[in-house]
Each structure stands twice: as structure tokens, then as C-alpha cells.
Structure 1
């Protein structure tokens, strides 16, 4: 997915627990995250696991191997006496860390029929065993433990990418096979909760990562440092835009009205024939999901929109997209509540009317270009490549999605993608200026 490197790398304040407790929690987290990735890949055949449907996606097998390589290189490789399990795999499974060596071209990852899926699974098991032995021997120092914690959050990002990438790959199959046919689905077509507007006065707020009650201590470096921002008076919609509301935009000729679109977005509409969100059928009644072809739930948040589509809808609705400062300042004191990957549905659901909710279901596009906060500093060394070098030409999304692990999200979390990207679970929430 995208993003980032670690700023504060401990899941709880150091003074609240002993070193032994801290290490035990970290080992438990490592085992849990690694097992979850294996479970997400379990429904895939070896053929499924090597499909790469476009340049922006990666095969599931590559995700399994790359996340393992991360631990092998950045944790086990800290020991000068460590010898890689297969030195040639460093080239295959490095992603974009130029400072640690060359890598296989991203658009050609689908050509890697070898090592096979079972060999990659054995690679995961062997690295896991090495990590366990290193913990047992006390060979992972504080910096190594920070790298382990970062690696678990990195792997959670790849869990989401594994789901979004395999969804695109299976949708490209004319049979539209499901990733899992047993996924729960809301078959009803009920409407979303009435949209309400919450007004906010002009104020100065401190944004960015700083631990506060209820928030974990981990954050990526692009969330820091905390800084003060003047947020003008504005109003924010109570929920994301629904499928029914986006269908009205389509039926009103939204994809044919040049006045609604940014120039680059209009060129993309014309070049690629966009007429509806990705995965929607022409009847506007059915869409491909990870559970296969299913009726579109009218009240659920619309998803798989590009920034251009989100912005065009907002113009059509007489509103705009929120800035990331508006979004974060509204989310600061809200619980992380919504539908996440933990719910094992992997598709957005309508939020209950009675509770404000900014997290989960769909990533929400903002109108803010992805760039550094004042005083931003990337991590030293190779891990500094994790995030900072991507701060150009991308836009910020907030809140997490139905494919994001719940404990991976917080108010300060910044996701980012290029404006034409549609294969993520990305939607929108409306905002407007104060009258």
C-alpha cells in the first residue's frame, strides 16, 4: 500500500511494562500477524498466487515472500554472521530499497513461477523459526525489536494489498470466481442513514502523531512530528457517500459532464471509458466482490473510486472533499469503530445512524496532496526509503477500510495513492465551507 516507516515504535509506553513483558507482547504480535497473512492466502491455489493483473498489483506469492524477506533482511540480517536462506531471493523479493541492492522489476513479478508457492511457505516457516530462536537467545536488541514491530505493521499493509490485488486478478477472469464463496453479505437494498452535517468552528489544532489515551504508541514517520494547524470553519458529512447516491450521479450524466472533472481526470475518463466505479456491472445493480458477483447494497459506502471520481462527485453534490487536517481533527477523539478486515467480510457495510464513524469500510480521499509535515525527518539508513521518497504526486486517504486490520488504524494514519488509482477500497466523505 503504500506507505511509511516508524516514528514511535513501541505499542505501549515503556514505563508501563517490563522489558520482558514488552518482548513477550512483541513476539505474540509477530506470531499473530504472520499467522493472519497465511490464513488470508490459504484460499488461493498456486495458480491464483502467481497472477499479476496489472503493473500496480503484485502476486499473492510475492506478498508472502516479500514480507518474509523484510524480517530476514532488516532483523536477522543485523547479525553479521547471519547467512541468508537463499541469497538469490534478495533480488527477487526486495521491493524498492535501492540502498540495499537491485531488485526484480515490479511489473514482472507475475513471471516468477519459481520459487513455487510451497517453497515460499517453507521460507516463511524457516524465517519464523529463526526469529523465534533469536528472541529466545536474547539476540534481538532494542533496534532489532523496533524493526520487528515495524515489520509487523508493514506486513499488515501487505495483508490489505494481498486482498485488493487478488480481487483485481480474479475480477479479470471472465468467470468472476470468488476469493471465498462463504463471505457474509448484506443482500438487502436498504437506504443509508440520513446524511447530516457536523459543523466545526475555526480553531487551531495539534495534528500528527503524539500518544494520547486510547491510541497505540506506534506510528509511521510520515505521521510526525506533531504540529499546529489552523483549521478554518467547515462542515463534515456524518457518513461516507453511499452506492445509491453515487448511482444518482451516474444517472445524472456525471461521467459525461466535463464541467465536473479536473482536466487529467477527464482525460482518463475518455481514454479508459470510465462510466461507473471499478467492479460495477453496466446494469448498476451488481458488482464483483471478494465473495463473487453480488447485488450492490444501496446503503453501503461506494468504493473503488479514483481521486478524480471522488472529486467530480463532490462538485456534483455542491460540496468538496475534506482536507486531511479537517478529517484528522474530527477523528481525534473518536473510537476506531467501523468494519475492518477482522470482521471477515471484506466489503463495506452501511454504518449505524446513531454513532459518528470516520473509520473503517472505505478509505476516504482528501483534497490534500501527500507531502511532509513541517520538520519531517525520515528514518536513518535504508528504512528511510520506506516513506519519504514517495511524497510527490499522490493524494492522502484517511480512515482505513474493510480490508484493513483494525489495530493498524489510528486518527493520524496517512495512506496515499495516485489520483487515478481505483483498485483499493477507496470512497469519499463530503465537506463544505462554513456559510
Structure 2
């Protein structure tokens, strides 16, 4: 690998590839490009038990294609290294034993160079496979593998952020102008929606994960939802009004977490002379008051909503509201790498990109849900317990990986992802 230099990656072309093969090639290439600013040392370390080293993300997404696609559909395929399955299996119990997640940072071997060779080897095999006429089941696994790798592209970035934030030097993944917004915060206004019976969930053409269906009817009361996300400026008002010191604002488990973890603000927030600073992929920089608050847990989002006199929207309210909004926002393809302030206007803003938005909905199966058969069915269904749904995508979500029916899910105490919120209420 060439000496790592923290330079801004080349901007990706705006017109996305359309064929399955071209999308696969573009996805694999993007992962390599996201790792390019990192030295080999950066790629080995694991910041915490919830994260994974960058090298592991690159290897795991490669193993996914090898284990579920190439071994089954490419005649004569020989695995790169039999030991890699133990190292880079994530949570597929039916495939076999695997290296413990909290200790992935101890995997100094295989080296980052060997992982790059592994990706090259598997990419060549994928090229040979895609030159053949693929059966429908193989095409479905290629599509799943593309979306799976897109998930890990976002995770790679958030895990690198966590790693760099833990270091005393607080390096930037990519240097950038440290200026903050010069525009005023868009006013907090609410958009009303009439109640009724609505169809929610994915149906029809296009990829979706199994947890997004089946499409079904949902009865909603009239509601209103904020035009934009909650901002850093509003969150600072919450902090300075004693939000983290007022137990009546918090769920019992949330208050216990605040006390145990000594939370004083969002993750990566630091109070400094002249204002607040926050670690980002662009380095340690002043908080942008007009930008959406990010890296807050469900517990914090719920407490803020109670303090503000509102609530979190349900995932169904959010989806119904988003149905009239174009798929636009600050995503990974926009090359911002940070949440940006909402523009003034009449319609809903920031629904897609910028930050994943907490909802008040527990992550549960839709009526009639059935996990896919086989090992790939160990993907979403087995996690439907004790987690909450987030909607909308973030500034680190790849283009083409965002849709209104997407159901992200996290435990209520977690906040290392680009997580924010918008307010809602009864209309």
C-alpha cells in the first residue's frame, strides 16, 4: 500500500450504474476508496465492542460473496483461505463458529495487505461469475451482497470516527474547512397529516430487506411532524436547561444509563472556550448550530422530545410523511461526510440523509413476516427484540441505499451511528 495521505477522495460520478454487474463493481470499488485514506495501522484497531476494524469490514463483505455466492454458483471455485471463514463470519450461527466480535481488533493476522489480496482474488471470481448467465437465486444473492456491503461502508466510516475520536490527536479522516454554518436555523414548524388507514412496508419492484415487508395496512390518527430535524442549537438549549440532570424527563433505563455513563451531551460533544466542539470525520471542529444534532441515543431523543413538549414519530407516521418527499439529502454520494443545515422552504426537509432518525416504534416483525430460508435468513429477524426503529439514512449512507420503507434498528443506549431525531405530535 502506498503511504497513507489524508486527502479528499475523488468525487464519484453522479450518474449511478444501472446493471447488476456494474453496480457490483461500483460497490466493491467504493469500499476500497473509502479505505484509501487509512494507513494499515488505522485498519487494525477496534475502538469498542460495538465497532469493527476497517480491515475486518473489507474482509467480511468479501467473505459474504465467497461464502454465499461463489462457493455455490461458480464451478471450480477454490476459497482463498479456509481460515478466513472463522475470522470474518459475523453472526451466521448456521455457517459455523467465528472469532468473538469484541476481539476483532486482535486479528493482526491476516494483515491488511492480505485482506487487499483477498478482495482482489474474490473480485476476479465475481467477474468470472457475472460473465455467465446467472440463475435468479444467484442474482438475488448478488443484490443482497451489494446492499450488505453498502451497510458496511457506512459502518466502516462510523467505526473510523469512533476510533479517531478515541485518540488524543483527534485526526481527521478527511481534512476540510472547519467553518460552521453562516445561515440561520430554519424555523421549527410542523406539517399536519390527516389520519386514516394507510399501507406501509415495501411492495413491488426494487430491492428491500425481508424486514420491510409484507406491506400491510396501518390505522393512524391525525398527526403532525416537524419539517426538519432537531438542531445542535436546540440541543444545547436542552443541555443548558439541565436536560441531563432532570430525572423526570427520562425513562428509567435511560436515566440509569445517563448516571452510569455520566452523559453530559451527545457522543463526541465537548464544551470548550467559546462554545461546543464535536469530533467528526472532518476532524475536531466547532459544532454547527444549524445542523441536525447527531450521535444521540433513543433515550436522549425521547427525553429531548419530552422536554420540548412533543414526542418521537412512530415509524409508520414517518413513512407516511416521507411518501410525498423526493429521495434527496446529504448522503455519502454528496461527499459532505457530516449532517448539514436544512434549507428554508414549505415541505418536509432532511427526510433522507443527514442523520438516521429515531422513531418511537419498537423493532418488531410486520404481520406475516417470514425470514428468508437458510443462513442468509439470519439477517434481520433474529434481532427483533429490545431495539427501536430508525428511518431516513445519514450523511454516511451510500447512494441507492435509502428508501422510505428502510428499517434500521439499534438498541436504545447506542449512539455511535449518525443518529438524530425530528419531533412529532398529535394533530
Answer yes or no: same fold by TM over 0.5.
yes
- Secondary structure of 1:245's counterpart equals helix
Q: Give SS of 1:229's match.
A: strand
Q: Which aligned pairs between 1:187-202 and structure 2 lie closer than 5 A?
A: 187-202=180-195
Question: 66, 78, 83: which one pairs with 1:83?
Answer: 78
> Residue 344 of structure 1: CA displacement?
1.3
Is residue 2:274 matched to residue 1:279? no
How far is 1:187 from its partner? 2.2
Q: String of CA shifts for 1:345-396, please: whole Å, max 9, x gaps.
A: 2100011112422111000000000010000011111111011000001000
The CA distance in 1 between the partners of 2:327 and 2:278, in whole Å, is 28
Cα deviations across residues 110-143 of structure 1 (Å, max 9, x unaligned)? 00001111110110011000011122233x3221
Q: Paired residue for 1:356?
A: 348
Matching residue within 187, 192, 209 for 1:220: 209
Structure 1: how far apart are the matches of 2:285 and 2:292? 15
Residue number in structure 2 paired with 1:400: 393
Q: Which residue of 2 aligns with 1:134?
A: 129
- The residue matched to 1:230 in structure 2 has which SS? strand
Give the gaps of 5 or more residues in structure 2. 1-16
Go from structure 1 to structure 2 and tell me whether the alpha carbon gap of 1:153 and 1:186 turns closer, same or farther (over 3 Å shift): farther
> For 1:184 and 1:230, how far apart are their aligned partners in 2?
47
Task: Tell me the equivalent position of 2:22.
Answer: 28
Q: 2-side partners of 1:236 and 1:179: how far apart? A: 35
Q: Which residue of 1 aligns with 2:292?
A: 301
Return the match for 1:68 from 48, 51, 62.
62
The answer on whether the counterparts of 2:178 and 2:286 sit within 8 Å (CA) in structure 1 is: no
Contact 2:355 2:393 in 1 (8 A): yes
Distance, in Å, in 2 between the alignment partners of 1:274 and 1:431 is 25
Of 114, 134, 145, which residue of structure 1 is paired with 2:139?
A: 145
If asked which structure has higher relative contact order (CA below 8 Å, sep 6+), I would say 1
8 Å CA contact 1:185, 1:345 repeated in 2: no
Map of 1:230 onto structure 2: 219
1:322 to 2:317 alignment? no
TM-score normalised by length of structure 2: 0.93
- Structure 1 segments, 4+ long, off by >6 Å, are none
User: TM-score with structure 1 length normalisation?
Assistant: 0.91
Cα deviation for residue 55 of structure 1 reads: 0.3
Contact conserved, 1:189 with 1:297, CA < 8 A, in 2? no
* CA contact 1:336–1:406 (8 Å) conserved in 2: no
Which residue matches 1:12?
Answer: none
Number of residue-to-residue matches in the alignment: 406
What is the Cα-based RMSD across aligned positions, in Å? 1.4
Q: How far off is 1:24 after superposition? A: 7.9
- Aligned counterparts, 1:31-430, within 5 A: 31-79=25-73, 81-138=76-133, 140-181=134-175, 183=176, 186-211=179-204, 217-283=206-272, 284-354=275-345, 355-357=347-349, 358-430=351-423
Q: Matched residue of 2:264: which SS?
A: coil
Equivalent pair of 1:191/1:244 in contact (CA under 8 Å): no
SS of equivalent to 2:191: strand
Distance 1:24 1:175 in 2: 42
1: CA distance between counterparts of 2:78 and 2:18?
26
Task: Report how far residue 83 of structure 1 moved.
Answer: 2.4
CA distance in structure 2 between the partners assigned to 1:185 and 1:43 by the alignment: 19
